[in-house]
Amino acid sequence: MESIYLAIMVGTALIIAAAFSSLIAFRFGAPLLLLFLGIGLVAGVDGMGLDFDNAGVAYFVGSLALAVILFDSGFGTSLASFRQSALPSLVLATVGVAITASIFGVGAYYVTPLSWLESFLLGATIASTDAAAVFFLLRAGNLNLRDRVRSTLEVESGSNDPIAIFLTITLVSVIATGSQPQAEVLVTDILIGFAVQMGLGLAAGVTGGFLIARLVERLQLDVGLLPIFVITLALLLFGIAGAIGGSGFLAVYVAGLIAGNSGVRSAARLKRFQDGISWLAQIIMFLVLGLFATPSQFPSVAIPAVALGLFLIFVARPVGVWLCLAPFRFTRAETAFVAWVGLRGAVSILLALTPILGRLENGQVIFNTAFIIVLVSLVVQGWTIGPLARRLGLVVPPRVGPLDKVELELPGAAHHELLAYRVAAGSPVANGVRIPRWARPSLVVREGRSLTYQYAGRLMADDHVYIFVPDRYPPLLDRLFASRADLDEDDADFFGEFAIDGSRPAADLDSAYGLILKEEEAAMSIADLVVARLGGRAEYADRLTIGPIELIVRDVDEHGAIRDLGLSVEPHYVAPKVPVFLSPGEMWDQTVSAWRGWREAGRQRRLREREATEARQREAGEGPNVVLPRDG
């Protein structure tokens, strides 16, 4: 009995320590996963002496925790973000994972004593990025990134785990059987198995997502029981999808995406609960994996593991990202940043347990190597995301300032929300802008007194306003109640010297600045011209240089239409210089350019040598170009 109490005390103490470590992470921008793993390592067998070596329990706990995290990731991903980056993100999550695993596997074969299949297995374990680490670092660094870059990273990190899991489990089963299949047969089996697992997982996720949303709407459960009911259904779906041969991880992510965007009742309550349970799942998973590791075994694989970690960061991931994003409209700076934010985390360590569970000969070597690679990724990439984003010019000024809002829920108010706003000084409503008629302000609390909106008069700073509104309108109200965004000197110049009306004809700009537009472009509006030149879609903070001027997108609406444009007559924006190691495309261009220069230099040298030879021959009267005297 005392041992039970001791285990509870130690476990809760570790969780509390991990929770408090988040304060350090938010303060210094440190990778939170690194702190969690560090606490587990300190408490483990080589630290405080807690001996935990049950790989099966660690994998079971980690799998359940990962299912909870993926469901929460899907539930919190808006369809707008998913649509904006769905294609490039899914290419990264599938083809990108396979390319990264393959390139890394080749490197691992020549650095480690592992066989070809074991090397590719190691590549599969570390091929996916960690959603928890990516989400946390983007939030903790307070980075206001371009929308498409942020959504691409979030969707990719939330959806690439199933592919890595499938590749890892398939290679473990192949190696465990001891057979040496032909490459063509192995690739065919992997492709067929992948199609079956992903197809069944996708079908289960779509069906489960709609069922969860339907049950939440139909069943009148107690509000305290509803979040538990939803997360339990998600875990049930995870088990069913796996039992029928599908990917349970893909199923729960898709189910969360569908349920979270279906307008279910009590969505705010569900999100708050899932945020908490997701944090708990992350802490438990990271602590368990840290406890399982044995640092005293690391020195034997440390040097090749660190080398492979750097190879992953500077070669395998950038090449995979560059190949996957080449068909899409990503700048070199955006591609470089996506390549750098490829943090490895708990999923890689969890997958590295499968060779041990499969009783592979080098299972422990693979686990220790993967663990060190994760540490290298977190140390090298985790602290540099913010500085690199600023260097690449991907941090844009905030669209709105701080906002103080609370979402309240009312029984029977389906698809409506009761929002409580505090009027911020300098916000539009504090400056006299009226609340639209489609909103229904019901109450104003001013200095402790309750007033109806009709008799409250003009809203004042620090008033609390309660508004009953349909759930599709809150983003519009947020702009009215947000304070002005604080801009530094660079931000003040970011959007140009003055604003212009995007609805005016582009011919006006042509005549004023001599842009020499095509006839069909001159007939467009300025906003349509910007959209056309940007490839069919404009995004907040996009820039377009035309002749002597630069047009900057200051704001877009929820449909992507341009609301406001800025103009700079002296463009000072300089495209950031992308580090060569993060841009294989630039490296390739430089290589090709150098080769062409070398070839041209060789051609010029040969030409000069031939001309010198011919000149000597003419002087000696031997050359073919000597003019002989005529007869007679």
Nearest to 194 by CA among 95, 276, 320, 309: 95
Residue predicted with more confidence, 475 or 360: 360
25 and 156, same domain (yes or no)? yes
Does residue 403 register a pLDDT over 90? no
Q: With respect to residue 398, please indicate whether it lies within any of the assigned structural domains.
A: no
Query: Would you place residue 626 in the very low, low, confident or very high pLDDT band (cuts 50, 70, 90)?
Result: very low
Q: Report the CATH number that the domain containing residue 418 is assigned in CATH.
A: 3.30.70.1450
- Considering only the C-alpha atoms of the chain, give the largest distance between any 2 of them, rounded to a whole number of Å: 129
For residue 506, what pLDDT is reported?
A: 86
pLDDT per residue as tens digits for the range 368-386? 999 999 999 988 888 888 8
Q: What percent of the chain has pLDDT over 70?
A: 83
Q: With respect to residue 220, please indicate whether it lies within any of the assigned structural domains.
A: yes
* Residues ≥6 apart with Cβ < 8 Å to 500: 526, 551, 565, 566, 567
Query: Would you place residue 629 in the very low, low, confident or very high pLDDT band (cuts 50, 70, 90)?
Result: very low
For residue 125, what pLDDT is reported?
A: 95
Identify the weakest region by mean pLDDT among 35-39, 90-94, 582-586. 582-586
pLDDT per residue as tens digits for the range 94-139? 999 999 999 999 999 999 999 999 999 999 999 988 877 777 777 6
For residue 627, what pLDDT is reported?
A: 44
Q: Which of 432, 454, 481 is where one domain is finished?
A: 481
Query: Would you place residue 488 in the very low, low, confident or very high pLDDT band (cuts 50, 70, 90)?
Result: low
106 and 177, same domain (yes or no)? yes
Average pLDDT, integer, range 476-496 = 66
Identify the weakest region by mean pLDDT among 78-82, 110-114, 360-364. 78-82
CB 293 within 8 A of CB 366: no
Nearest to 564 by CA among 492, 489, 504, 508: 504
For residue 100, what pLDDT is reported?
A: 95
Average pLDDT, integer, range 2-18 = 74
Q: With respect to residue 152, please indicate whether it lies within any of the assigned structural domains.
A: yes
For residue 85, what pLDDT is reported?
A: 82
Average pLDDT, integer, range 313-324 = 92
180 and 215, same domain (yes or no)? yes
Identify the weakest region by mean pLDDT among 21-35, 249-263, 278-292. 21-35
Average pLDDT, integer, range 563-573 = 73
Average pLDDT, integer, range 449-454 = 82
pLDDT per residue as tens digits for the range 199-228? 999 999 999 999 999 998 888 777 778 889
pLDDT per residue as tens digits for the range 277-293? 888 888 888 888 888 88
352 and 368, same domain (yes or no)? yes
Work out the angle at residue 501's Cα, subtended by the Cα atoms of residues 496 and 505, and round it to the nearest 5 degrees. 115
* Residues ≥6 apart with Cβ < 8 Å to 153: 134, 138, 338, 341
227 and 313, same domain (yes or no)? yes
Report the distance separating Cα 339 and Cα 585, nearest Å: 12
For residue 575, what pLDDT is reported?
A: 58
Nearest to 395 by CA among 495, 563, 541: 541
66 and 195, same domain (yes or no)? yes
Q: With respect to residue 629, please indicate whether it lies within any of the assigned structural domains.
A: no
Q: With respect to residue 622, please indicate whether it lies within any of the assigned structural domains.
A: no
For residue 478, what pLDDT is reported?
A: 77
Q: With respect to residue 329, please indicate whether it lies within any of the assigned structural domains.
A: yes
Report the distance separating Cα 137 and Cα 126, nearest Å: 19
Q: Is the dihedral of CA 351, 356, 361, 362 positive or negative?
A: positive
Q: With respect to residue 466, please indicate whether it lies within any of the assigned structural domains.
A: yes
For residue 540, what pLDDT is reported?
A: 80
Q: Report the CATH number that the domain containing residue 351 is assigned in CATH.
A: 1.20.1530.20
The amino acid that residue 124 corresponds to is A
pLDDT per residue as tens digits for the range 325-346? 988 888 888 899 999 988 888 8
For residue 513, what pLDDT is reported?
A: 81
User: In whole angstroms, what separates CA 264 from the centre of its chain?
Assistant: 26
Query: Would you place residue 631 in the very low, low, confident or very high pLDDT band (cuts 50, 70, 90)?
Result: very low
474 and 493, same domain (yes or no)? no
Report the distance separating Cα 374 and Cα 351, nearest Å: 12
Range of the domain at 339: 2-391
471 and 498, same domain (yes or no)? no
Q: With respect to residue 240, please indicate whether it lies within any of the assigned structural domains.
A: yes
507 and 387, same domain (yes or no)? no
Q: Considering its fold, how many domains does the chain have in total? A: 3
Q: How far is CA 32 from CA 119, 212, 305, in A?
A: 29, 31, 22
For residue 78, what pLDDT is reported?
A: 79
- Looking at every residue in the chain, the average pLDDT score rounds to 81
Query: Would you place residue 424 in the very low, low, confident or very high pLDDT band (cuts 50, 70, 90)?
Result: confident
Nearest to 443 by CA among 462, 470, 461, 421: 421
385 and 409, same domain (yes or no)? no
Report the distance separating Cα 392 and Cα 575, nearest Å: 8
Q: Report the CATH number that the domain containing residue 535 is assigned in CATH.
A: 3.30.465.10
457 and 540, same domain (yes or no)? no
Nearest to 284 by CA among 595, 65, 539, 452: 65
Q: Which of 348, 365, 391 is where one domain is finished?
A: 391
464 and 529, same domain (yes or no)? no
Token pair recorded at residue 246: 């599908």
pLDDT per residue as tens digits for the range 161-204? 888 888 898 899 888 887 666 666 667 777 888 888 889 999 99
Residue predicted with more confidence, 596 or 108: 108
For residue 584, what pLDDT is reported?
A: 63
For residue 240, what pLDDT is reported?
A: 94
Q: Which of 337, 368, 391 is where one domain is finished?
A: 391
CB 625 within 8 A of CB 617: yes
Average pLDDT, integer, range 232-236 = 94
The four Cα atoms 483, 484, 487, 493 give a dihedral, to 10 degrees, of 160
